[in-house]
A and B are shown apart, each in its own frame.
Chain A
């Protein structure tokens, strides 16, 4: 339909307009696509086996053969970085998906229903947020056991309050709008109104939160591994690589720490910048 195309092209136009005024968002988006591409195709990209040690070649500085140098066991740091991207992004993405799905559904229903359930869930979320969240994640992993699924669960739980609150607030302001009542007059049940009508309308605004949280979840996963509560060596992981490399920094072997640190920083930065950019794109005041 021609009008539908017109609608889409005006959205594209709007995105381009915002990107022109804010090129950092475009750069961040490219960076994230690059990181995801590396993560997906890691097994085919890595020039060396990321866990195979080659002791004679240990602690080599960056060179043409080893772009990011080698570590204390002679493993290629670039290969390990790429393999680690796969793991870290997977942990972050799964954790954020879990907390988004659960948080949006719970928050959406609470915001729509209101009443006692809403108050109880609200207080529970408040209690959750009163903990220092990283310490809570540490405690959860320590209690549940040091496995990847538990890292994902812990990260998901500490992200949950943001989505619950956000979905609750956004659904709450919309629940009395005409089109919500109209949907019910069209024969939708309460559950369908929340899941198929209200939450999709809240989704764009939540995309901002998702982007910001992804960066945070990566940092969280790496942080857990750094203090030894996350993924265990020899699995390539940014946090472990920084932790192990830190021992060699005093002897001038900077590349062991610098490259994983840089990878971590750039990924988190890109997600945060994209979040800011998305906020601008979705801000209705920008749409005049």
Chain B
């Protein structure tokens, strides 16, 4: 048997910080054969990226390999000199980064940047360089490659930038490609196109690939083998199908359980959570809607961001607004929260027109208390100068005129405990809290004034799956027990299916499909909904036969829809 292409043995990496050495990797073992695709999966802080940077020897100055070996084609590269490394990087192994727009030089053309890579490894004439660059752009299936050669990164969409990055990475025909979260920040349909491209290229060229991702479904769909990392260690490694069928390590099991599949329910996601209370009191039919959006239009500098959208939400109900970036879902949520004004149309809350009150004046409206919002990124949704207590107390002080004292204390503590935030964290400042804790503070702040409608703007998009599972369950419980209606804004159809009764699918500001979320999910009518559904990378949960990636049954021509979407030029 030949030696594996890449072998990592007992790799230790430490970072020197003010508080002494911090060990990021404590003995990682991995091996990868030529042509194989390995998924490196784990939550934030598990050491996935550090591993890949250590392999490429691209650790920053604070980080150092303190032990172990990295063998590439049987040769130890942990002690290779700079000139050897330059030979290796790009030519033998190359890397694709998370944010393609930031990884490309904004003031150089696509051709220049590809040629730079070529010239770094061999002497090549101008004409040959140009034709090679063109071939590469064709290989990554960019439309109109001739024109794209002279384009600057700013003129390309995110998905196209990532294709250029891929073209650069494969320019010198490396035998190993490391893709570090290559599709994070891209829309789901773009993610699918980029990942299909990567999978195709690795097969075509016999490249091995390490796919680093936090998304188990993505790894299952595209990788032959998966290594699961937790706190600087590989806790489990194996063939994808086997790993999902018979996970041995408790962390892997937890991760698999927390990742939503097509059939999972909220209760499946986090074991050990309290079972949901009895279903909310069913209201007699015919009661008025809590929220009614009527033909709302919002235009930004001539482009309609929201174009004639209408829907209604019953008290205590839940509705998901689904769409990709540019679909107008965020703009719509801000209008419903009365943070910005609509150009046309009306918004009714409990039968009263709140759309008529200018957003500038809405802070004095009695309905301000009743519509609250939870923001996308927990990291920037808390005032850095407020402790958690003051964050949660803020709406109570402002909207209910509460003064410091026992009553305020009780309300804050009640909201915090409803959101699952321990009392002893209330004195902390945002930078002393983890992402999940910050998300809970954001939710506690929103539910503190006992609103009737909670608008959630992708509240879990920036969170790890295990935290996402807990937050989703928490939201569901709030709806059932406290009778708060949820308006859930998300790009993730699957999450919306689990949490919401109703679903509205938006594309470029227009409603393309609306209805009961289960039936939309199971029998999508619009081609765009099919494309969104098909793009969700999912795996079958434990017990079901068949390897990962098999779960692609579709009820309408989704493939063509994706093709059409991806082919749309910017």
CB-CB < 8 A to A181: which residues of B?
334, 339, 373, 375
CB-CB < 8 A to A200: which residues of B?
385
B74 interface residue per 8 A CB criterion: no
Segment at the interface with B among A1-9, A133-141, A258-266: A1-9
B84 interface residue per 8 A CB criterion: no
A188 interface residue per 8 A CB criterion: yes
Q: Report which B residues bind A (CB closer than 8 A).
A: 17-18, 334, 337, 339, 360, 363-364, 368-369, 371-373, 375-377, 380-385, 387, 394-395, 398-399, 424-429, 432, 442, 445-446
A189 interface residue per 8 A CB criterion: yes
- Smallest CB-CB separation from B432: which chain A residue? A7
The total of chain A residues at the interface (CB under 8 A) is: 23
What is the distance, in angstroms, from B177's C-beta to the closest C-beta of chain A?
31
Q: Are the CB atoms of B363 and A184 closer together than 8 Å?
A: yes
CB-CB < 8 A to B337: which residues of A?
185
Known contacts A17-B18, A186-B445; is-contact A179 B428 (Cβ 8 Å): no
CB-CB < 8 A to A63: which residues of B?
none
Known contacts A7-B427, A187-B395, A188-B398; is-contact A182 B373 (Cβ 8 Å): yes
Q: Are the CB atoms of A185 and B339 closer together than 8 Å?
A: yes
Q: Are the CB atoms of A190 and B375 closer together than 8 Å?
A: no
CB-CB < 8 A to A201: which residues of B?
383-385
What is the distance, in angstroms, from A217's C-beta to the closest C-beta of chain B?
28
Q: Are the CB atoms of B385 and A288 closer together than 8 Å?
A: no
- Smallest CB-CB separation from B373: which chain A residue? A185
Besides A178-B376, A185-B371, A190-B360, 10 more A-B contacts (Cβ < 8 Å) are: A3-B427, A3-B428, A7-B427, A7-B429, A181-B339, A182-B383, A183-B383, A188-B363, A201-B384, A288-B17
Q: What are 26 residue pairs bridging A and B, where the CB atoms are less than 8 Å apart in the complex?
A: A3-B426, A3-B428, A3-B432, A4-B387, A4-B427, A7-B428, A178-B375, A178-B380, A178-B382, A179-B375, A179-B380, A181-B334, A181-B339, A181-B373, A182-B375, A182-B382, A182-B383, A182-B442, A183-B394, A184-B339, A186-B394, A187-B363, A187-B364, A187-B399, A188-B363, A201-B385
Q: Which of A1, A2, A186, A200 has the most CB of B within 10 A?
A: A186
Q: Are the CB atoms of A197 and B383 closer together than 8 Å?
A: yes
What is the distance, in angstroms, from A268's C-beta to the closest C-beta of chain B?
31
Q: Are the CB atoms of B394 and A178 closer together than 8 Å?
A: no
CB-CB < 8 A to B442: which residues of A?
178, 182
CA distance in complex: A177, B446 (Å): 16
CA distance in complex: A177, B425 (Å): 23
CB-CB < 8 A to A17: which residues of B?
18
Contact for A288 among B18, B371, B394, B432, CB less than 8 A: B18
Q: Are the CB atoms of A187 and B384 closer together than 8 Å?
A: no
CB-CB < 8 A to B364: which residues of A?
187
Q: Are the CB atoms of B380 and A177 closer together than 8 Å?
A: yes
CA distance in complex: A190, B384 (Å): 19
CB-CB < 8 A to A179: which residues of B?
375, 380-384
